[in-house]
Chains A and B, each alone.
Chain A
């Protein structure tokens, strides 16, 4: 049923992603692919994995296999003052997901008990309208299976009693080597993730769309330039200029002259 639950679920399972910590290693994306290749929406097929150019592959050019989680890298600001921010992006399990309500068959649904948004691969007709309705690019069409696939929040892992309790978190969370990803109940204001969001001013992506995403992002912390207090240079620009002048030929006495002579001889 593509009608949303009448009342928002009390439990809102979701992710909190710390953009201050993420190092952009793509391990979350890779482990997501690994776990889900055998999970709820398995298989995660690869269409044309060893893609050639358009002249070789024509319409199929591009390795457009299914991934639920992709890591983008953005540059914020310009020039020497810019920051590089790694940005993992997956389904945000919105509270008002248009991807669910546009579905003509009822294959897309939002679970009443925990708010997870899922696709039933047995009733999906592969019309792709849900991917048009999602602003976040969370849904990817499986060209081999002819159905839409998306992040399941590892619904087959987080409730799996065969696993140790510590492992009952989404694959992307358990694999993150720097603990930039957190999983929990964002509907409970006392949960660890809710407190984290409050402390770090976690925010929604594209709030203007009005879909009320459950997943939150923690902003990168402000640049720290207190290094000078400990004797470290506040900017690398001066150091770079110094290093350059020291390295330039002629500045290092006899050794420099010898190198210059070698350079002249070898350049002939």
Chain B
């Protein structure tokens, strides 16, 4: 599948934004975030900015962005529609949670409870994002039970890395921020490793034989002549391929930057003291995780092989 930049930016930015929002709400509810610090306000603002920026970016790949509002209408059947709907609805509790930080001690309602509702809805939104891909039977690499958990975990991990860095900047860094990064990085790494193993072990079920119904399942069916002399939309959108040796290398880069380095840096963070040290370590983990997320998301598209390629020369997909 063609890795569209706008979709990659959207899923990464909004995913991390929703993850940050969810973790902030949980930390606030557990009284792990000091209410007299500007950290809560700034971090919640950052989460909402990332979410909004990502959502706006996602409209860039639409042919008619001005009609995007129509996308909330088909929630009965469409995961994309459900994602759009939950993305919008999440703003209500998230906005009330934000007000709690903006006007500390003056609000009549329980804004931390609204924060927890925002956390649940944020995770439901990311769940819907993952489901858009996981529900497509046409792409074996996406039609996998691990795709949705990976989307949620990477969103949360991005949020945890952001939250740890901001807590260091605002000098409210405690070991809890560290443990969350550590736990999420380990979980995500395990989930991603089992996902890649499942891709490598499960053979393709559709072939050029089943796509054309020719050859009786035994004979070789090979594309002799394509219907067009140059690339068409289907080939451009669905025919993107990545060499196996590159994907192996990129998987290693993703594993190192997204999981191994943040784990090591978090372990290091648990041993040092002082604000400048924790800023350096959490910033390094954030940058490393950011690079890793881009590589992972790009690979998620590049490694996905659509069955329509069977009509354009592929023999199995």
A-side residues, CB < 8 A to B, are 1-4, 19, 24, 26, 29, 51, 61-67, 70-78, 84-85, 87, 89, 98, 100-107, 123-129, 131-137, 140-143, 145-148, 203-210, 217, 219-220
Contact = CB atoms under 8 A, between A and B. Distances in A.
A141 B225 CA distance: 23
- Chain B interface SS verdict (over half): mixed
B183 interface: no
Contact of A64 (B221, B223, B226, B232): B232
Tier of interface size on chain B: 35 or more
Given A2-B74, A106-B70, A136-B308, A131 B211 contact: no
A141 B233 contact: yes
A217 B212 CA distance: 9
Contacts of A26: 227
Given A73-B224, A134-B308, A209-B307, A67 B62 contact: no
Given A126-B62, A129-B132, A206-B307, A105 B70 contact: yes
B73 A74 contact: no
6 contacts: A26-B227, A87-B214, A106-B70, A132-B237, A141-B233, A142-B63
B67 A74 contact: no
Nearest to B76: A3
In terms of DSSP, what is the predominant structure of the interface of chain A? loop
A106 B307 CA distance: 25
Interface stretch (B136-144, B173-181, B188-196, B283-291): B136-144
Contact of B63 (A72, A100, A141): A141
Interface of B: 1, 61-65, 67-68, 70-74, 76-81, 84, 132, 135-139, 205-206, 208, 210-215, 219-238, 306-308, 311-312
A72 B136 contact: no
A74 B212 contact: yes
A127 B234 CA distance: 14
B277 to A, nearest CB: 46
Contacts of B235: 62
Contacts of B79: 102
Given A19-B214, A101-B77, A102-B79, A206 B206 contact: yes
